[in-house]
Amino acid sequence: MISLQALRERARALKIELIALALAARHPQTPWYAKLVVAGCVAYALTPVDFIPDAIPVIGVVDDLIFIPLAVALAVRFIPAPVLADCRARSQEIEARTPKLSRTAWALIAFAWASLVVLLAYWAI
């Protein structure tokens, strides 16, 4: 079984890789077809259109867990190695400068979302 710490580390690595891909997409030495793959990966990750809708329990989320890492791996293959190495180094610097949210901030965000859901449910009834 995978530990919570291992999941956090994988999520951090994926975040750094996605920042590197975003930087590589803007790099002048990145070929146009690599930029197209990166744009498709980002579009699939951010748009609500999926191969399997997220409304279907478990299976709807599993397609994102499969397709997005595959798209990232494909995009990485098309980007030249020196460009990718430079972008990865820059993305680690960016990630290190990014402020972390405290537990209090996360609790306030969760409270705000829960309040919104309750208000919408109250309004619907």
What would the pLDDT profile of 43-86 be if each residue is shown by its tens digit? 777 777 666 666 677 777 777 778 778 888 888 899 999 999 99
What average pLDDT does the structure give for the chain?
A: 83
**In the chain, what percentage of residues exceed pLDDT 70?**
91
| Six-digit token string for 101 | 């949210």
Report the pLDDT value the prediction gives residue 19, as an integer from 0 to 100.
86
DSSP code string of the chain: ---HHHHHHHHHHHHHHHHHHHHHHH-TTS-HHHHHHHHHHHHHHHSS--SS-TTSTTHHHHHHHHHHHHHHHHHHHHS-HHHHHHHHHHHHHHHHHSPPPPHHHHHHHHHHHHHHHHHHHHHH-
- On the question of pLDDT at 1 being above 70, the answer is no
Give the mean model confidence (pLDDT) for residues 23-40. 90
What is the per-residue pLDDT for 89?
Answer: 93
